[in-house]
Amino acid sequence: MSAWILAIVQTVLLLLLAPLLSGWVKWVKCKMQCRRGPAPWQPYRDLAKLMRKEVVLAEHASPLFRATPYLVFSVTALACSVVPAFTLGLPTAAMADVIVLVGFFALGRFFLSLAGMDIGTAFGGMGASREVTISSLAEPAMLLAIFTLSMTFASTNLNTMVHFTLTEPFQIHPSFIFSGLSLLLVATAECGRIPIDNPATHLELTMVHEAMILEYSGRHLALLEWASMLKMLIFGVLITNLFIPWGVAQTSGFIPCSVGALSMMAKLMGIGALLAVSESVLAKMRLFRAPEFLSLAFILSLLGMLSHVVLEVH
């Protein structure tokens, strides 16, 4: 029973932390570019304001358009409960492995792109087509990277994977370097961050994610924004915990769990700062260069798998 409570605590904690991470990234980015920038908790204010605002619906909006924000948000929240964030042995982690996690994201994206096309404006369709193009290239790279990891761990369950690294003596796996880099590239593409998509822009020709949700307003928009912040958080937790799991609690006591939560926040701050730095240094790519970027991710995953077979297996 206490494990279930812990699972709920974890999900709620991640839900609450997601806007903070997004605000933190924006804050570090502003500091790097010598701007004053909004406070890290600004996204909470934005979400609260959007929640209070009236929903404006297009005349031709179908029920699908209205259902999508709730669906996308709940799927992402469900994905939150699957990832081992600060403690192991959650009952929710046993229900779904990492392939299901990829499936959750795909499900959310499917409905989001349908909703983008639902109203019938040009931008929605354009954004949906771009999003699907990018994700169809990003998904194989992500799955290949995950398969490389699961060849070492002999499991696709996230709990087992993190547990393996925590209990084994320290080893350097060449294949992990490649999978890690590949997952970082895929995460930037999936979360719509800078080399692929600019989350801050509303410039017609370049937006991808923003184009799809252009017609949304009020609490619908708030839920979709929150879901995309949550997705970034999940990717951050996933990548940090797969490759640097130290700090994650192995028992369900209060002290190990709070140590785990603190270390998770520290790791997230680190990876958020890394994202902010890379976003300040890199420029957004042309859309037609996105396949090159993602094929680099795919080649990295492939190299990871090859180096696992060539170098690590006797």
Between 57 and 296, whose beta carbon lies closer to another protein? 296
Collapsed DSSP state (helix, strand, coil) of residue 285: coil
312 binds another protein (CB under 8 A): yes
Q: How many residues bind another protein (CB under 8 A)?
A: 28
Nearest alpha-carbon partner for 221 in 12, 14, 73: 73
Q: How far is it, in rounded angstroms, from Cα 43 to Cα 38?
A: 9
Residue 235: exposure state from Cβ atoms within 10 A (0-12, 13-18, ≥19): buried
Between 144 and 229, whose beta carbon lies closer to another protein? 144
For residue 154, the minimal CB distance to another protein (Å) is 7
Here the contacts of 113-117 (C-beta below 8 Å, separation 24 or greater) are 113/212, 114/64, 114/68, 115/64, 115/65, 115/68, 115/212, 116/211, 116/212, 116/213
Q: Pull the structure tokens for residue 188.
A: 């930037």
For residue 142, the minimal CB distance to another protein (Å) is 17
For residue 279, the minimal CB distance to another protein (Å) is 21
Between 80 and 303, whose beta carbon lies closer to another protein? 303
Between 120 and 291, whose beta carbon lies closer to another protein? 291
The interface with another protein within residues 129-158 (CB under 8 A) comprises 152, 154
Between 231 and 308, whose beta carbon lies closer to another protein? 308
Q: Pull the structure tokens for residue 291.
A: 């396949």
For residue 205, the minimal CB distance to another protein (Å) is 25
The interface with another protein within residues 155-194 (CB under 8 A) comprises 168-175, 177-178
What residues does 249 pair with on adjacent strands? Answer: 87
Q: How far is it, in rounded angstroms, from Cα 264 to Cα 274?
A: 15
Residues at the contact surface with another protein, assessed by CB under 8 A: 152, 154, 168-175, 177-178, 291-292, 295-296, 299-300, 302-303, 306-307, 309-314
